[in-house]
Structure 1
Amino acid sequence: MSTATQILSHSIDDQLWSRPEKFVFRVAFIFFILLIVPLEPEWYTKLFSDFSLYKLLSALAGSRPGLIEIKSESGRWGLASYATWGILLLAAVVGGIIWSLLVRKRTISGYHKLYYWLRVLVRYRIAIGLIAFGLIKFYPMQMPYPSVSNLHTEFGDYAPFKLYWQSVGLSLEYQIFLGALEIIIGALLFFRATTAIGAILTAGVLYNIAHANLGYDGGVHVYSSYFVLLALFLLVQYIPGIWKLFIKGETVVPQYYTPDYTTTRGKMFYIAAKAIFIFLFLFVYSYYRYDLHFNKGRLKEPILPGLKKAEGFYNVKSFVLNGDSLQYSPTDSVRWHNAVFERYSTFSYKVYKPFDIKTGNGVPDGTDLFKEYELTGRAGGRVYLYYEIDSVERNLYLVDKNQKFSKNTLKKYADKDFLGLKELYKTDARDTLGILRWHYAQIDSSTVQLSGIDQYKDTIHVELERIPQLHTPGKYWYTENKKFHY
């Protein structure tokens, strides 16, 4: 088709749009632009505070509209959590009215061009979002294998979302499959020829994720619904053809506007820009995620190795508090019921006492002390402590992870693999962080003794006896990293 014929065809097509259709398009155009372009100043501040290529790619792939957050029925989900969408839709309607008033006395063509480029923006937004979504499953970080502490948590003490996440984390193959599927779907949306199938798969797969997060109160229902909405917008163009082909049984010859690059330079620029964009997100960003996961150990679970040959679930054989020996009672809020040494730098023990339940899904912080995934979404009175080892004097330096840290503390000790608690114990940080010092003795292969002063200023002496485990401890390759070995 010649350029002149294309221009004539496009002009005629524009004239076929009714006024209501043009108004709906104007509203949709503004609405989806507002959904895709980051509007929060914090997004730009965070991006440029320590700019890097990875940070740029990650920020673009992970941006989501979040002007307002309203706690609703369960505190995490409900219609109120979609408030930002309502605000943006209202703004789009107002913008559509203003746009219509401004052009009411003018004959304007080119709506098909705007529609095409809006679809390109939506396609690429879904693509990079799904690739980013998929990579944290393909390199399994999003839903880690349950820790020993979590494996010994009663079923009824779990929040629904933690049960869901851990059930996925139990299966390495399933999580990798989900990640690969999302990456492939994202790649399909980079190309016009595979947009329809990519949009259909996006709507189906992401609806399932949104539905599961609504059902299990998982917290990412709005973000997954976001991609469903974008995918449905892409499918609008194909609905007439699909109806004719599959319902009416008629022959369909798709005729959609595509830009005509009349110069070699313009065509080469288009091909190069597209190739670079795809290369950055499919390969460069993928390598960054691999590097963070395996080489830098940016996982949701701690990575600093724990006490050597101590990993396991322990019965509390004896517990002495301020010189008095306490006998076991299932309702005791002081005497430990059982204890766990993880393979990494977490020690936990259980008492009969309520604690605030953390409802976040956890983030892969660089500092083990602030990683919360292992203790989120669960009750049951378990206390989690981060620790570092002084193997010469046989001391453990510990900090209670259940406490609420100040913003200054979080910032001061951010992105440190090793905090140096032994040295900090001699400074004001001892009180700021609540650093404890316990002497340890590994009597034999199954017995560990701990003694010192706990976080309540009581003197304790505890003897732990490891119980042989019959379940898999979770030492799959994906929880390992090249930075530390266990």
Structure 2
Amino acid sequence: MATSLNNDSTDAWKAYEKHAFRLAFVYFILQSVPLDWKYYRHLFSVNWLNPTFADFFNISRYTPQFFRQATSADYWGLNTLLDWLVVLIIAAVISLVWYFLENRQRNRPNYRDLYYLLRVILRYRLALGVIAYGLIKFFPLQSPYPSLSNFNTDYGDLSAWKIFSLTLGVAPSFEAVLGGLEILAGLLLLYRGTTAIGAFIVIIFHGNAFLSNLAYEGGEAIYALYLVHIAVFLFLHDAKRIVDLFSLNKPAQPDRYKPAYTQPWQRQLKTGLKSAFILVFVFVFGYKTYAASKTQPYHYPVTPGLSGAQGLYDVSEFSRNGQVHPYSKRDTLRWQDVVFEEWATLSVKTVAKVKPWLGGVEVIHRNDKDRLYELSGTTSRHYYHYSIDSAAQTLRLENKNPNYSDDQFELHYDRPDAHTIRLSGIDARGDSLRVVLHRLDKKYLYEEAQKGGRRGGLIL
């Protein structure tokens, strides 16, 4: 179909090319133009006088959905191939209606103009998607540095996707390079002459992201494929010319089609819309993402935790219902160790396996207890969001794992010295607990190696 589009007249199109175009036109419009009322509800709920980078990212993340998967997403669920099938069926019906209506009319639409319009919509939709993901990588937010609890979780107790993400998180420079490549691809898509280059980069980059999500059991496989299939459609426009020129050493004619602007305001509107897109979704979005990277990674809570308590704690004493539980690798009731994060999260390691919350979907949450990255893919630690009543010296704990939503209880704490915390109270099962925690001065090999590298030496 790409070759025939270079002809000057729509009449030069073959019948099957027109059928294919009508189907493709309706299908990609349904895929790329938001038609879900919930999307606009969110769009108009944004404070556009002071938007956050999360507002921009959630806007960029739209895909049509008919089957909402179970997810913790704030605005829409996880896209599935069933949604694509529904879109394709709707597009097939509409394209058939279009065909019958067109045969009854004398004035038929100019397919070349429609094809140009479709490419413009898809170019900007794809640019928005890849720039959004590029920015949260360029200012390393998508895969943050591991938390203290992550450092104290055995490798075998982490899911494949969590290991993948943590591995990227300890290499922020590499993450920034990946983000820069995505941003470059997005910028190239904004101009017709460089669209093929930008689309080719997206095919390679997000094709790899699609395969990585499949291999490591991530949650972004379908969205990565969504971006890839738009990029493939855009690339096909120039594919034959590229193959002829670079592979077959044949002459290739450029696409000389240009839309006809009969009024000056039409060209001005085009320039204004492109300038507004670049201003809002590149510069403003970029600045907001940069500002967020300097405050706190969005995957982790921001509410401060118990003052001066951050660290890894050995459970030196543990009793349940008055019965002392000595340290044991087989006791599923006893706590093994406890981590107090810098923020209001407390994690408890146990021998009993935890039903993991499998993350991998890129969602930016406003509420601390909804930020599940730190616990996703973990099978040996319970993560509790807690609130502090400093007057009564109590901690109100809520298990952040949605699989344990009923695990909520309150513990009294006291701190006889700077390295000891004593906890007592009734847990969610109604059992009385008494726990004595002693902070460990643990060194972490990766961080020590980083310090050694900055001094120019090695730590063995």
Instruction: Return the offset for 1:109.
Output: 5.2
In structure 1, the gaps of 5 or more residues are: 1-8, 72-79, 407-431, 477-486
Distance 1:219 1:168, change over 3 A: same
Query: Partner of 2:410 in structure 1?
Result: 436
Total equivalences in the alignment = 432
TM normalised by structure 1 equals 0.81
Instruction: Return the offset for 1:370.
Output: 2.8
Instruction: Return the offset for 1:473.
Output: 8.1
Quick one: distance in 1 between partners of 2:319 and 2:94?
70
What is the letter of the counterpart of residue 384 of structure 2?
L
What is the letter of the counterpart of residue 25 of structure 1?
F
Whether the 8 Å contact between 1:40 and 1:67 is mirrored in structure 2 is no
What is the letter of the counterpart of residue 452 of structure 1?
G
Structure 1 residue 271 corresponds to structure 2 residue 271: yes
Structure 1 residue 306 corresponds to structure 2 residue 301: no
What is the letter of the counterpart of residue 376 of structure 2?
T
Structure 1 segment 35-434 matched on structure 2, within 5 A: 35-49=31-45, 52=48, 54=51, 57-69=56-68, 81-104=80-103, 106=106, 108=108, 110-294=110-294, 297=296, 299-361=298-360, 363-380=363-380, 382-391=381-390, 394-402=393-401, 434=408
What is the letter of the counterpart of residue 20 of structure 1?
Y
Instruction: Return the offset for 1:348.
Output: 1.4
Q: 2:29 aligns with which of 27, 33, 37?
A: 33
1:234-284 deviation per Cα after TM superposition (whole angstroms, max 9, x unaligned): 111102211210222122230232213344443233222211121111112
Quick one: distance in 1 between partners of 2:161 and 2:48?
33
1:108-128 deviation per Cα after TM superposition (whole angstroms, max 9, x unaligned): 351111101100000000011
1:358-385 deviation per Cα after TM superposition (whole angstroms, max 9, x unaligned): 12337443332332111111212x2222
1:438-483 deviation per Cα after TM superposition (whole angstroms, max 9, x unaligned): 2121524x4333233333333322222333323268799xxxxxxx
Quick one: distance in 2 between partners of 1:436 and 1:473?
35
Query: Partner of 1:18 in structure 2?
Result: 14
Quick one: distance in 1 between partners of 2:149 and 2:176?
24
Quick one: distance in 1 between partners of 2:7 and 2:155?
64
What secondary structure sits across from 1:35 in the alignment?
helix
Instruction: Return the offset for 1:405.
Output: 8.9
Whether the 8 Å contact between 1:213 and 1:220 is mirrored in structure 2 is yes
Q: Report which stretch shifted further, 432-441 or 94-103.
A: 432-441
Instruction: Return the offset for 1:183.
Output: 1.4
Query: Partner of 1:447 in structure 2?
Result: 420
Whether the 8 Å contact between 2:123 and 2:189 is mirrored in structure 1 is yes
**Identity of aligned pairs, percent?**
35
Q: Report which stretch shifted further, 166-175 or 136-145.
A: 136-145
Q: 2:431 aligns with which of 445, 458, 464?
A: 458
What is the letter of the counterpart of residue 437 of structure 2?
L
Whether the 8 Å contact between 2:394 and 2:411 is mirrored in structure 1 is yes
In structure 2, the gaps of 5 or more residues are: 71-78, 451-460
What is the letter of the counterpart of residue 314 of structure 2?
N
Q: Report which stretch shifted further, 389-398 or 173-182.
A: 389-398
Considering only aligned residues, what root-mean-square deviation do their CA atoms show, in Å? 2.9
Query: Partner of 1:6 in structure 2?
Result: none
Whether the 8 Å contact between 1:438 and 1:451 is mirrored in structure 2 is yes
Quick one: distance in 2 between partners of 1:405 and 1:14?
61
Instruction: Return the offset for 1:321.
Output: 2.5
What is the letter of the counterpart of residue 227 of structure 2?
F
TM normalised by structure 2 equals 0.85
Distance 1:50 1:273, change over 3 A: closer
Whether the 8 Å contact between 2:134 and 2:183 is mirrored in structure 1 is yes
Instruction: Return the offset for 1:404.
Output: 6.1
Quick one: distance in 2 between partners of 1:142 and 1:27?
36
